[in-house]
Amino acid sequence: MSYSKDVINKVIEENDILEIVSEYISLKRSGKDYKGLCPFHHEKTPSFNVSQEKQLYHCFGCHASGNVITFVMNIENLSFKEAVEFLADKAGILIEEENLSGEEYKRKKIRDEIYSINRLAALYYHRSLYSKIGQAALRYLYDRGIDDKTIKKFGLGYSPVNGDDLVKYFVGQKYNIDTVYNAGLILKNDSGKYFDRFRNRVMFPIIDEKNNVIGFGGRVMDNGKPKYLNTSETPVFKKGKTLYGINYAKKTKDDKFIIVEGYMDTIALHQSGIDSAVASLGTALTIEQGKLIKKYKNNVVISYDADEAGVEATLRGLNILDELNLNVSILTVPNGKDPDEFVRKEGFDAFTRLLENTETLIEYKIKKYKQNLDLNNPTERIKYIKKVCQDLSSIKDKVKRDVYVSIVAKDAQIPESTIRTEIDRFVKGFKQNNEKIRYTVGNNRHNIKYGSVKKIPSLKYLIALLLIDNKLYNRIKSKIDFNDIDDELLRPVITFIVERLEDGKETNVNDVSFMLDNAKLKNEFNDIFDILYNGKEINEKIVDDCIKEIVKDNLNRKISRIKKEIDESYISGDIEQERKLLTQLQNFEKEMLMLKNG
């Protein structure tokens, strides 16, 4: 277990789920609860609900359910322990190191050492930039229009051309050289000698949202290869999980982020006064980066380079951000320039005017689809129509959709009615995938909106019922032998609850939340959270159905086991044992018959 149950309970209690969820999505009151677009699946009609009273969330579309910890785990792509630490940090709760296991403490110590090493390396590179050996690098930055104030703001630096200057620096600082190696700053040759990873490059410290230096990017000043070199992945740096400039952009008063490709684009925009720019550290925007954006903003402008790679990256990024229900628009810098070059030559006002004339996601896609296809070719024209109609089917605004239908019909030279028929086909398909179906526990049925048949096992239902109303235990305990429960994953959960209730301790979902540390149990708990959220009324029939199903399952296992033992006794010739087992089998079968007959 990562942390004590008391620590986990305190973290849950100090983080109101409504406040946490509201940092990621817009919620509106709906009765007692709050509703918004689900952050875990693509939808246009809100089906994601948050109960402040129960401190739970539930999506009636994708069926995701949970509490504040599971929400953070899913939205931030964190482990249980990382989510607890994330929420503890938000609530200002200091988690003492003695709560960590030996292995966890070791990992934390390694991360802290790497943060410290990266910070010292950033200072070393920055000093080198302003030293005699860094004059060429400094001149390079000046020539790119970057001033001293911006250089210091972003901590830009220079890695010396000699192959082991940084190695010598850390040896002189009495740092363990293996730890410096683990930070991704130095390499080791076949003979075991260490040397600097970055040599003769302008250095860009990569800083996360908590202001930790997690890695570096290094750029050559000539035509050397590779043009950019990043820190390799380390315990603190995963290229696809952060955004360059997020430490500053998260403070912007603008209502959006501008996503650009590289370091220089970000720096140039910030220097010009546009403080909402972040870079995706390359051309491939990831789902983790999209979630990081959504944590702070709902509006996004993508302004990648206009070359072929930039266009492809824009399309990939559009799909990711659209799936996260972000409001996306595209800024294409004229004449094939990148944002860095444009803002240096044209200035802040000119770039601001570009921002006022961005294209919507649909407009950009229509334009790009046409560029890549020959509409005089019937096969490619059909491909164009189908691709665009699938996108148009997601637009709820009828006026807006009709405008695009006219454009597409004109492009494809076919009647608007044909376009609308194709759109309706996609809409119908979407509705069929989200039609109402039923799931059951025993004979108890509930209507839900979900994409496939879902039957929640009775044991999960029983666990949820006990957490809703502890008094039910007195009705249940004489009818179920909990030792007979064979579910390896859920047995520890029901055992923990039963032991607490036997001791007279009140028990709710927070008391068992520490078990979410088990990745497999996290998935099992989704159904339990579902019932906790939707459970409105507990009646005797629901409870009796659960008991009956669990007892029936236990009897079936006993009957199967005894039949196997009878076969073994018969083969071994143990007639006496076989007779005893047959008597037990008859008793179990009578018990099963009575159970089925009510």
The domain defined by 5-98 folds into: DNA Primase; Chain A (3.90.580)
Which residues make beta-bridge pairs with 449?
436
DSSP 332: -
Lowest mean pLDDT among 10-24, 48-62, 96-110: 96-110
Provide mean pLDDT across the span 168-183: 91
- Assess contact for 112 and 212: CB atoms under 8 A: no
Q: How confident is the model at residue 396 (pLDDT cuts 50, 70, 90)?
A: confident
Q: How confident is the model at residue 394 (pLDDT cuts 50, 70, 90)?
A: confident
The helix/strand count (H/E) of the chain reads as 26, 18
Residue 324 pLDDT: 79
Provide mean pLDDT across the span 166-185: 92
Q: Where are the domains of the chain?
A: 5-98, 103-237, 246-360, 373-433, 447-598
Residue appearing with tokens 């005017």: 353
Provide mean pLDDT across the span 375-389: 86
With residues binned 3-state (H G I as helix, E B as strand, rest as coil), the percentages for the chain, rounded to 5, are: 55, 10, 30
What is the distance between the alpha carbons of residues 202 and 138, in angstroms, rounded to a whole number? Answer: 8
Residue 477 pLDDT: 81
Which range scores top for mean pLDDT: 191-200, 336-345, 481-490? 191-200
Residue 4 has pLDDT above 60, yes or no: yes
Range 499-506, long-range pairs (CB < 8 A, 24+ positions): 501/466, 501/470, 501/473, 506/470
pTM: 0.63
DSSP 254: S
Measure Cα distances from 27 to 46, 51, 535 in Å: 9, 11, 22
Top-level class of domain 447-598? mainly alpha
> What CATH architecture applies to the domain 103-237?
Alpha-Beta Complex (3.90)
Residue 212 pLDDT: 93
Residue 439 has pLDDT above 50, yes or no: no
Q: How confident is the model at residue 305 (pLDDT cuts 50, 70, 90)?
A: low
The Cβ-side half-sphere exposure at 339, using a 13 Å CA radius, reads: 32
Provide mean pLDDT across the span 227-240: 90
What is the distance between the alpha carbons of residues 531 and 58, in angstroms, rounded to a whole number? Answer: 10
Q: What is the largest CA-CA distance in the chain?
A: 98
More confident residue, 376 or 313: 376
CATH 3.30.70.20 fits 246-360, yes or no: no
Q: Are strands 327-330 and 299-302 parallel, antiparallel or unpaired?
A: parallel
Which residues make beta-bridge pairs with 327?
299
Residue 2 pLDDT: 60
Lowest mean pLDDT among 194-208, 246-260, 574-588: 574-588
